[in-house]
Amino acid sequence: MQKIDVAIYSKLAADTTLTGLMGGAYVYQGIAPPTATRPYVIFQKETGGPTNDTPRDRRAYRYMVKVVSGDLMTGSANLVAGSIDAQIESALHEKTLTVSGYDNYLMMRVSPDIDYLETAGGKVIRHLGGTYRIEIAPTT
């Protein structure tokens, strides 16, 4: 749902601790541009939609939110990635997400299941994050 994408982006980009750790508001929906400066945050919907269990049109979603680190072979990129992941959780877990036209009544990290390495251009990059459950219903 595009309104949730906007709400997640707004929440993360406005978190000054998070943007300070990254050196800017490097938050992207779906995929980062090829020229993006690492570290950065990527989020995207994994699944979700209407629950069909209430007349209020309740909706439940799962979103992946992760940090993509700088080169692990230089400096403290691994520690920074861990700090960014912790700050993402601090910004989102059990917090209110402002979604236009909806009440947000559940926002929680349900699994810290993203942690893998890749090589890109001779650099070792870490992906670290989790899955967040978001439930909303139209504002009454």
Please state the domain extents for the chain: 2-138
pLDDT in tens, 29-74: 999 999 999 999 999 999 999 898 888 889 999 999 999 999 898 8
Look over the chain and give the mean of its residue pLDDT values, rounded to a whole number.
Answer: 94
Asked if pLDDT for residue 8 goes beyond 90, the answer is: yes
C-alpha 99/C-alpha 91 separation (Å) is 15
Omega of the bond prior to 39 within 30 degrees of 0, cis? yes
CA dihedral sign, ordered 101, 85, 69, 117? negative
Identity of the residue numbered 73: M
Q: What is the arithmetic mean of pLDDT over 103-121?
A: 92
pTM value is 0.93
What is the pLDDT, as a whole number, of residue 73? 87
C-alpha 60/C-alpha 76 separation (Å) is 37
What is the pLDDT, as a whole number, of residue 57? 87
Q: What is the arithmetic mean of pLDDT over 4-31?
A: 97
Q: What is the arithmetic mean of pLDDT over 100-112?
A: 92
Domain 2-138 has CATH 3.40.50.300: no
What is the pLDDT, as a whole number, of residue 23? 95
